[in-house]
Amino acid sequence: MQPYLQLIRLPLLPSALGNICLGALSAGISQTDSLSFILMLFSSAFLYASGMVWNDYFDAGIDAIERPERPIPSGKISSKNAAIFAIILMTLGVAFALSVELLRGFSGTTLSIALIISFLILAYDGGGKNFIIGPILMGSCRFFNVLLGWSVVGEPLTEIAFLQAGVIGIYIIGVTWYAKYEAEQSNRISLIAASIIIILALFIGLIFPTFNHQENAPTWLYPYLFFLLMARVVKALLSGIQEPTPRNVQMGVVTCLKSLVLLDCILAIGIAGWVGLWILLLLAPNLIINRFKKLYST
């Protein structure tokens, strides 16, 4: 099982689930939505996993040179089996989204978002990542993943939903750009530009409560939480900028991706109040999974 767990980047799976929790809590999920919420988590998890497998499938030639130890170039998993695995995962992701529609009452929103995410995954992994549009495609995947969480209650998506998803989307655009040359010596100017985009996303997140007027959001603590997150992220980004070696850049990328759960938590607090702290539970499986050193994150 280890090669397949490596393919799906298991250590970062909680970050995808955090997006769903962010959207669902912000949308006002209730106890009656519990089953739909669980099904939505499975949908997001399978779609995320399929994207990771497709990434290695399409990058098998490059990985044979840069990362020959990975499952496909090392021969532990054949390209054919990897493609079948990715198709199964993506199909399951869409199927779980459809099950939410059938359970809750068909509106088409959840299924449409799942299909859009599937298209964006294939567009990015299938070649889009090699062009300037690559980071935008990846950011769009996360953008719609947050909206997938919002759709769990079956209500029309609001402007706040799109703004919140936009924070996550812009953040991932910057992280993807930052990670573009993580396997080799990165360009310092490129890293600085990517870092500016990441910080811009965090700044938008910082002022997010000004667009939200719900009384249950503890805005007095919100900026302090955000500054702590920004300090963690900026420190990792500066390490890569100062010495743009593959190790430093990859550590910066991993830190940014693992900080997604914290970002989801804080943004949820900004709308849903202290219930957003439940998202921190996703750090527990993350810490456990990270003990298995052979399960890489990038």
Q: What is the pLDDT of residues 215-243, one digit of tens each?
A: 555 567 888 889 999 999 999 999 999 98
102: left (phi over 0), alpha (psi -120 to 50) or beta: alpha
Six-digit token string for 289: 């999974």
Domains identified in the chain, total number: 1
pLDDT in tens, 87-127: 999 999 999 999 999 998 888 899 999 999 999 999 999 99
Please report, rounded to a whole number, the percentage of residues in the chain having pLDDT higher than 90.
59
Is there a domain that residue 296 lies in?
Answer: no
CA distance 111 to 94: 7
Q: pLDDT category, 17, cuts 50, 70, 90?
A: very high
Which residues, 6 or more positions from 195, have their beta carbon under 8 angstroms from its beta carbon?
A: 174, 178, 234, 237, 238, 241
User: For the chain, how many residues are written?
Assistant: 298
Is there a domain that residue 241 lies in?
Answer: yes
Domain span at residue 218? Answer: 2-289
Contact 186, 244 (CB under 8 A): yes
Is there a domain that residue 297 lies in?
Answer: no
SS3 139: helix
CA distance 246 to 96: 37
Is there a domain that residue 174 lies in?
Answer: yes
Q: Does residue 56 surpass a pLDDT of 90? A: yes
The overall average pLDDT reported for the chain is 89
CA torsion sign for 113, 275, 266, 246 is negative
Is there a domain that residue 194 lies in?
Answer: yes
Confidence (pTM):
0.92
